[in-house]
A and B are shown apart, each in its own frame.
Chain A
Amino acid sequence: MPSLEQYIILAIILFLIGLFGFLTRRNLIVILISIEIMLNGLIVLFAAISHFTKDISGYIVVFFIIAMAAAEAAIGLSLVVLIYKRLRTVYSDEITTFKG
């Protein structure tokens, strides 16, 4: 069984990867997916802690994270669809209506 540190390192790495994508990519859809990656990192973190402390709360949180990620992805994607309908592009550096 790997130690808790290893799980936590994995979680952090996943989170940072997702964060980097979120901050950097131009494509709105990929930004949303990076958010999912971040959330998965969190899932790993909570699950690991819960396993090692024998406390059910972590698994409950995982459950909730999954549900919440679904809701958030639905809304985010409908917004992306709306933006595409309006502005004909999904690239963030081309969406400059709020410039200035």
Chain B
Amino acid sequence: MVEKHFELITHFDIYVFLIPFLPLIASVITLIFGKKYFRDKAHLLPILALFFSFLLSIKVLIEVINGKIYHFDVYSWMFAYDLKVGLGFLVDPLSAAMITMVTCVSFLIHVYSVGYMGGDPGYYRFFAYISLFTFFMLMLVLSNNLAQLYLGWEGVGLCSYFLIGYWYKKKSASDAGKKAFIVNRIGDFGFALGIFLAFYFLGTLYYNEIFPKLPEISNKYMGVLGYEVHVPFLIAFLLFCGAMGKSAQFPLHVWLPDAMEGPTPVSALIHAATMVTAGVFMVCRLNPLFELSNAMMFIVAMIGAFTCFMSATIAPTQFDIKRVIAYSTLSQLGYMFMACGVGAFIAGMFHLLTHAYFKALLFLGAGSVIHLLHHAPDPNDIRIMGGLKKYMPITFWTLLIASLSISGIPGFAGFFSKDEILAQAFFSKYPWGKFIWFIGWVVAAMTAFYTFRIIFRAFYGEFKGWEYIHGKPHESPRVMTIPLIFLAIGSIVAGWIGIPKALGGRNHIEEFLAPVLGHPRIVHEVSHSTEYLLIALSILAGLFGIFLAWLVYIKKPELETFFSKKVKPLYTFLFRKWYFDELYHYTVVIPTLWISRKIVVAITDNTIIEGIVNGSARLVNITGKGLRVLHTGIINHYSTFILIGIIVYLLVYLYLK
């Protein structure tokens, strides 16, 4: 934390409290009463709640800009010997920025869903779930201790499961939901262990108490399986396991592409703007902990880099428009983690905020096209799209803005945030910075390529989906295009808060977030000439990607199959997503199923539990049969039993009392 005078507010503030709880109330009411009373008006309450949450977030943001920090507990949650945890709120620059983005994007997606999900039988369920999701995300962001972070963490995972498997009757959708939840769970297991260790070594789970105590454990080592492990590294690594699961980094990235089975607004909200960014948020929030261990920073950077590169190689081969955007998300998340891994936390958060806008816009725009083609067997396939530029102008222009943004074209938001990451990586004090810069630079070109591949395939050329629509292709209704416009504005404007000094700006975002995330960890004062060179290089990379896409898809369409034919094994490897799904299937899924069927079911279920249940029934049976012998029906015998009873009673009474 950097020195700047803040006014700390510790009393209960109703506005801050309402920011997550308005969506919660809306969600619960919609869920309980939605089926019978709301039906197709079920969107009213959540949209209203989200709108007010957004306004409140703006209000709170302004207060934080003016120098206030909120830190108060609302409810004593856990009391156990040494552990004291409550539900509380921490509003500082980091969380204020996040909640503004979350509520804004969530609100726009709520509005969009009115058009996209209209007529769906489970309409009320959808809105209830995305409001609930927003609640959990806000709780995660606003939390002031690790336990509440975990609450929000799990909650968003749960809502993600609900929403991915929204069309639960479709097997692929429910399978995808399960996959997401299970893979998340694996990461969450590490996360929980990390929290336990943190509590064990630091004695508390509140952020404001953890950070001053960190220097105490900076040199501690712990014995694990015979090896001496650096404690901060271990804690950070376990927490990062959760981030890997939640933010879909390698090796737990496999759920995100499958999650595209959910409706497009879900993909936009959860898998672009909010849930997957929770991992980045967590790393940034706990940046003092991560910085204690160089090894951990290295791991974060490398995993981010690998995921970034890997998904950028898979994306150009996919034909499902949502899957391409999903891999694009993976790639951009990799950027954010790369930034964190070189100490550029502010840059990472900046990219998170801008990415939310252009990625959500990409998804919603794709959803617009999918909505048009929704009668097709696979409406996501780009091979049936084409030439939509003249039929869907608003969708086209907004998607173009998003694509320019993601490709890092100057003036758009993505340029500023991505450049910030690349510059800070290059100048970082960490030795792997330059390698990270290189990866980021190469992937920038690939990003531009596959993004514009989609644009050119969908909006230029000839429309191929005539048999799936009635009449001519038409623009989506206003309720869907207006959010697109707003998001497009965001994709441009959101970058202007971080114009670097080299280009004449004041870099507001760095000033704003520095008290929480620290100043950039750069080696020496940056020379402006090098920075200009880097900027020029990244612009060139973006333009090269666009040029290549234009070449292949517009100028010389015969080049399209060049790669897939010439280097078939490599193409297949990329097309099959580096065979990760198959790898996991054979190494994890099949052994687990085998163990569960052969061992767990056979032994515990059939033998032990059924043995106990059936055994007790049989015991009663046998006892009954045994005792029935005494019921002879002859009263002389009965009298004898009475006599025996009297004897026993007298014996006890006289001798044993």
Given a CB threshold of 8 Å, the question of whether A touches B is answered with: yes
Whether the Cβ atoms of A23 and B628 lie closer than 8 Å is: no
Task: Report B-chain residues with C-beta under 8 Å of the C-beta of A78.
Answer: none
Asked if A6 is an interface residue, CB under 8 A from chain B, the answer is: no
Q: Cβ of B656 < 8 Å from any Cβ of A?
A: no
Beta-carbon contacts under 8 Å, A20-37 to B: 22-26, 31
In chain A, what residue has the closest Cβ to B635?
A: A92
Binary interface profile of B, 613-644, with partner A (CB < 8 Å = 1, else 0)? 00000000000000010011111100110010
Q: Is the CB of B634 within 8 A of A96?
A: yes
Residues of chain B having any CB pair with chain A under 8 Å: 628, 631-636, 639-640, 643
A95 to B636, CA, bound (A): 11
User: Which single member of A19, A95, A100 contacts B635 (CB below 8 Å)?
Assistant: A95
A10-51 CB contact bits vs B (8 Å, 1 = yes)?
000000000100111110000100000000000000000000
Total A-B pairs, Cβ < 8 A: 31
Q: Are A98 and B631 in contact (CB under 8 A)?
A: yes
Judge whether A93 and B628 touch: CB under 8 Å: no
Does A3 belong to the interface (CB within 8 Å)?
no
Q: Are A100 and B636 in contact (CB under 8 A)?
A: no
Which residues of chain A (45-59) have a CB below 8 Å from chain B? none
Residue of B whose beta carbon sits closest to that of A19: B643
* Of A19, A22, A92, A100, the contact of B634 (CB 8 Å cutoff): A92
Q: Are A24 and B636 in contact (CB under 8 A)?
A: yes
Question: In the complex, what residues of A have CB within 8 A of residue B643's CB?
Answer: 19, 23
Q: Point out the residue from B631, B639, B640 that lies within 8 Å of A100, measured CB to CB.
A: B631
Chain B residues positioned under 8 Å from A100 (CB to CB)? 628, 631, 633
Q: Is the CB of B640 within 8 A of A97?
A: no
A99 at the interface (CB under 8 A from B): yes
Are B633 and A95 in contact (CB-based, < 8 A)? Answer: yes
CB <8 Å contact, B631 and A92: no
B640 adjacent to A96 (CB under 8 Å): no
Q: Which 5 A-B pairs have the closest CB atoms?
A: A99-B633, A96-B633, A98-B633, A92-B635, A93-B634
Q: Are B631 and A99 in contact (CB under 8 A)?
A: yes
Most buried by A among B628, B631, B639: B639
A99 and B636 contact, CB distance less than 8 A: no
In the complex, the chain B residue whose C-beta lies closest to that of A24 is: B636
Tell me if A23 and B640 are in contact (CB < 8 A).
yes
B636–A23 CB distance below 8 A: yes
A96 to B628, CA, bound (A): 14
Q: A23 and B633: CB pair below 8 A?
A: no
CB neighbours (8 Å) of B633 from chain A are 95-100
CB distance from A77 to the nearest CB of B (A): 16
Residues of B within 8 A of A31 (CB): 635-636
Q: Which residue of B lies closest to A97 (CB)?
A: B633
Complex CA distance for A22 and B634, rounded to whole angstroms: 13
Report the Cα distance A96→B639, complex, angstroms. Answer: 15
Chain B residues within an 8 Å CB radius of A92: 634-636
A25–B637 CA distance with the chains assembled, in angstroms: 11
Instruction: Report the bound CA distance from A16 to B273 in whole Å.
Output: 96
Residue of A nearest to B640 (CB): A23
A53-82 to B contact mask, C-beta < 8 Å, 1/0: 000000000000000000000000000000
Question: B634 contacts which chain A residues (CB < 8 A)?
Answer: 92-93, 95-96
